[in-house]
Each structure stands twice: as C-alpha cells, then as structure tokens.
C-alpha cells in the first residue's frame, strides 16, 4: 500500500466520524478535535509530490476547515461539522490527483 493510500484511508475514517458527529451533535471541544485530526492528515498530504491540481485541493480543504473552526467559535457546531464533512468528501473524490 502506498503512503497516500494510507492517508486517504484515514480521511475516509475521519469522514465516517464526521457523519457520526452529525447524528449526535458533539460539543465544541470534540468538533475542534475532529478538525485538528483532519488538518493533521492534510499537513502530511501537503508534503508529498502530486499532480498539478492537488495542492489547490489541499488549500481548498484547509480554507473550509478554517471556516468550520470559525463556526465552532460562534457556536454553530452543526454547520461546522457539515462543512468539515463536505471538505473531506470533496478531497476524497479527488484522490486520483494524489497518486
């Protein structure tokens, strides 16, 4: 298994966690932890060699996660979780760019 495959498996697991969060409405601390985990995986992806469009996808995901953090600070946790989930889904859909 290639390193990026492992990272995308981790993103898939985090997506499942985000979907679970949507069902149970977590607190701010748990939502921040989820966002930090996603950012950690994205940081590792950011150090890899990819096709040309891939860095744009990572930057887009970081932007969405920053917006999600702002929403958590405002107390809008359900929307923050939804944005986190959408960022993950969008990045996973573009996995082919990272091979």
pLDDT tens across 19-73, in order? 888 778 788 999 999 999 999 988 887 666 665 667 788 889 999 999 999 999 9
Top-confidence residue, 99 or 74: 74
- Any residues with CB less than 8 A from the CB of 48 and at least 6 apart, and which? 3, 4, 98
Pick the CATH number of 3-98 from 1.25.40, 1.20.120, 1.10.3470, 2.60.40: 1.20.120
pLDDT of residue 39: 92
Q: What is the pLDDT of residue 83?
A: 96
pLDDT at 99 over 90: no
CB atoms within 10 A of CB 7: 17
Q: Domain-by-domain residue ranges, the chain? A: 3-98
Q: What is the pLDDT of residue 70?
A: 97
């Amino acid at each position: 298994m290639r390193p990026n495959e492992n990272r995308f498996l981790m993103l898939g697991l985090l997506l499942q966690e985000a979907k679970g969060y949507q069902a149970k409405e977590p607190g701010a601390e748990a939502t921040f932890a989820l966002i930090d985990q996603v950012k950690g995986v994205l940081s590792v992806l950011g150090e890899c060699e990819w096709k040309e469009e891939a860095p744009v996808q990572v930057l887009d995901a970081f932007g969405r996660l920053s917006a999600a953090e702002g929403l958590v600070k405002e107390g809008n946790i359900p929307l923050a979780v939804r944005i986190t989930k959408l960022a993950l889904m969008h990045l996973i859909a573009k996995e082919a760019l990272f091979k």
